[in-house]
């Protein structure tokens, strides 16, 4: 078992330098690199993952040295460590694929004039949607039979949802305008 732990430790140590170089080159990813079940930390870099593997190996060595290491635990932890090492190796092997992935573009800030134009457009839409809601509500009240009311109710609900989303968008635009005006 001691030899196995030393081999695992050597393998992980060999991964550290290329992982540092890769982390330096591509920086932090937009999402955690690995699943929570594979690594406790939700790192966006490789080096912290390798450090976690090293800590697991050190803990196993410590348990073995003190005589507290049970065979079933050793087997389970070694399997997990191997899975972690393989995951890191796969991540490092996908360097070219990751480089060709589209990067998230930083949204260009809109000018105050553009925000006011958008707000005016949304206000027009709000006015139209409110009129449509009013018309559908009136048509629903005038509908003679329950069978003819159901499609009108669904249309009214859809229009009310569109109106609510339009009003939310207007609130966001107003907030953005206020922030831009405060900045001067």
Helix, strand or coil, per DSSP, at residue 94 = coil
Q: In the CATH hierarchy, which top-level class contains the domain 112-182?
A: mainly alpha
Q: For 80-93, write each residue's pLDDT tens digit.
A: 989 999 988 888 88
Contacts (Cβ under 8 Å, ≥6 apart) of 13: 54
CA torsion angle 13 15 21 26 (round to 10):
-140
pTM for the whole thing? 0.53
Work out the angle at residue 53's Cα, subtended by the Cα atoms of residues 51 and 58, and round it to the nearest 5 degrees. 90
Average pLDDT over residues 152-166: 93
């Amino acid at each position: 078992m001691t030899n196995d732990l030393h081999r695992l430790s050597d393998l992980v140590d060999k991964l550290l330098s290329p992982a540092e170089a890769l982390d330096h080159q591509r920086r932090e990813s937009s999402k955690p690199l690995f699943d929570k079940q594979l690594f406790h930390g939700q790192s966006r870099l490789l080096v912290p993952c390798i450090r976690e593997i090293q800590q697991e190996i050190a803990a196993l060595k410590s348990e073995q040295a003190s005589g507290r290491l049970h065979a079933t635990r050793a087997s389970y932890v070694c399997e997990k460590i191997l899975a972690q090492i393989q995951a890191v190796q796969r991540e490092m092997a996908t360097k070219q694929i990751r480089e060709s992935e589209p990067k998230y573009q930083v949204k260009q800030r809109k000018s105050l004039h553009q925000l006011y134009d958008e707000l005016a457009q949304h206000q027009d839409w709000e006015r139209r949607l409110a009129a449509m809601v009013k018309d559908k509500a009136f048509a629903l009240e005038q509908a003679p039979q329950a069978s003819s009311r159901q499609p009108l109710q669904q249309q009214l609900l859809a229009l009310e949802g569109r109106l609510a989303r339009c009003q939310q968008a207007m609130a966001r635009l107003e907030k953005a305008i206020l922030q831009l005006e405060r900045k001067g």
